[in-house]
Chains A and B, each alone.
Chain A
Amino acid sequence: MNAGGAPSEARASLSLPERRPTAGTIVRGGVIAVLLAFVLAGLPPLLSVYWLDVLTAVAIYSVVALGLNLLVGRVGLVSLGQIAILALGAWVAARLDFATSLPFPIVLLATGVITAVLGVIVGLPALRVSGLYLALITLMLAGAITIVLNSTNFPNGGGGFLGHTESSFGSGGIRRPSIAVSDQAYYRYAVVLAALMFVLALLHVRSKPGRAWAAIRQSEPAALAAGVNVTLYKLWAFALAAFITGIAGGILGGSSGKLFVTQFTTQGSIILLAVVLMGGVFSLWGALAAGVLLQLLPALLNDWGAPPDLLTVIFGVGVLQVLVTAPEGLVVQVPRDLATLGRFLLRLGRRAASLLGGAQ
């Protein structure tokens, strides 16, 4: 079981030399930079407060989805308890916020670290069980955490360890950072933090942990035999996912100022898994797609007057569709299907042209 004494050759194979950036990566980086600049600077003045709130939520939930995306797509561990982890993060952030006068970024960082520790504790069973049983254990833990939250509720400025008081409607909400008090500024703050989390995830995926995770996902025994410290990297994955989710929880608290137990249901964890699978787990873009599905789509449907419950049905159909026909998710499927459609239209157009040409 001890992978510590693995031969050093096997270790060496895990740390490939750094790749030189190709023209493609540079172009892609440029496109991402332009997009990010537009989202940060161009978009906010065009939008009402409502849509800014929606987009802030998209940024936050993309980060939540990113945590699950890493676990499912990179390591092959399915967790049905991510919304519970988000609730833990939000709770810790709110508690720290009311208890101390630390600057917001420090509170966020501390929240991330504390949530990561909690995430590792939740992830401990993963060392023994995997696959279906792990998903069920995390579902059970999520249910248990939700029940505890139901009776402790979220801190709102009260005293004691729990910091919740029923009679404090007058007490201020959760602070926002001093540099981002307005809705526009907070939206930018959330987007920048979300981008940082994506970079953090990308750095992991592109380096040694990412390769170790890939090995574990392919075959745990093979990874073990190749000298991958399976225990360390599995817990690392849980810690990273929980860190990211905890930070998202911290931003979530600041965005609305108040937190409600009804925001964090077990059903929410299931829907999160559904949208993450729909978005696609083999690309980090899938997490962004999941965030859009989870927060922007309901707002759009609401705007168009469609029943909000229709969305749950769509997610259910979507997850079945993804499982049966397209395991890579929407970020791969949509471009591929669009390309197929484009080729089909092109061929149709050409045939029509040749028919017309023949008729003349």
Chain B
Amino acid sequence: MPSFEDFKPFFVTGLSLGGVYALSGTGIVVLYRATGVLNLAFGAVGAMGALISWALINHTSANQYVAYAVCILFGGIVTLAYGIIFGPPLAGRDPLVKAVGTLGLALILLGFMSWFWPPKSRSMFLPTSNSGYQIGIVHVTWTQIIGLVAAVVVTIGTGAFLRFTRLGTAMRALADDREIAATLGVPVRRVEAVAWLGSGLLAGTAGLLLSDLVALDAVTLTFLVISSLAAALIARLQSLVVTLFAGIVIGLVDALITPILSISTYRDMTPFVLATIGLLWISRRRVVSVGRAGT
């Protein structure tokens, strides 16, 4: 068993990764609450944004900050476009069908990514990774700090937005009952569009951060969505605060297993195992319900 000293660096990686998982988890939960769509293409959107931004930096003379902005905007625009095109025709369908639709988007993006950028080693190096703090023996980069702080800020910000603004109230109304909200004069399409856009911007941000923190690889980034998904599921796709903590716990457990050699090969299973336990816990009481799907 490794000593406590060995774990210290992994606390930092765990916290920062967990923060980004929580950030993505928030994007997933907000979109699910407002539109009923569980966006499984969240990771793919961020991955493609990051790859585009990499291409801009390495193959053109574009300013790197412009490239980062393009990554985030790409997330927002693609997600919004998907929401506008495929949201309405699938609105009345089962949540499962809506989720499978986003798998279609994920496949399209994955196909384009491996077409334009065949697998080879690339790396994204954000300027914030250059400098950082020294805490004891552990070096902490600004990117890692941003990962954690962004998660907390986004969680509080989104919570406040949903609680105190008109648009946020409308979103919560949609989450409760789409039809009744529409009858009361909530502009459903417009409110949904805002949710798609916001969630997409978060996808782009998460993709950018993860491409630096983990790896700039299409498949890896696409399937990192599972970690965020696990956080969102543990929060029953409802609570933003629980998503934040679940995301951080997943990141921490995943990272802290690394120095324990006997099981470190299996550490990537953390999100799967936690999410499965979470899902079974959610549905521990079997209820046969007859009614509208998705409520």
Contacts and interface: CB of A to CB of B under 8 A. Distances in A.
Contacts, number: 141
B276 interface: yes
Contacts of A219: 290
B90 A311 contact: no
B65 interface: no
B270 to A, nearest CB: 10
B273 interface: yes
Given A125-B279, A141-B272, A313 B112 contact: yes
B101 A323 contact: yes
B254 to A, nearest CB: 12
B286 A128 contact: yes
Nearest to B275: A140
B266 A309 contact: no
Interface in A149-175: 150-151
Contact of A133 (B222, B283, B288, B290): B283
B286 A316 contact: no
Interface residues of A, number: 47
Given A309-B112, A315-B107, A133 B100 contact: no
B288 to A, nearest CB: 5
Contact of B226 (A78, A125, A139, A323): A139
A150 B273 CA distance: 17
B288 A224 contact: yes
A140 B272 contact: yes
Contacts of B272: 140-141, 143-144, 147
A133 B96 CA distance: 8
B107 A136 contact: no
Contacts of A150: 265
Given A125-B280, A144-B272, A323-B90, A221 B288 contact: yes
Interface residues of B, number: 50
Contacts of A143: 223, 226, 269, 271-272
A273 interface: yes
A273 B104 CA distance: 10
Given A78-B96, A320-B105, A323-B97, A221 B290 contact: yes
A229 to B, nearest CB: 14
Q: Which 4 A-B pairs have the closest CB atoms?
A: A312-B111, A316-B107, A316-B108, A313-B111
27 contacts: A128-B286, A131-B94, A133-B282, A135-B96, A135-B99, A135-B100, A136-B229, A137-B276, A140-B226, A140-B230, A140-B273, A140-B275, A143-B226, A143-B271, A147-B269, A147-B272, A267-B219, A267-B222, A273-B100, A274-B103, A312-B111, A313-B115, A316-B106, A316-B107, A316-B111, A323-B101, A324-B90
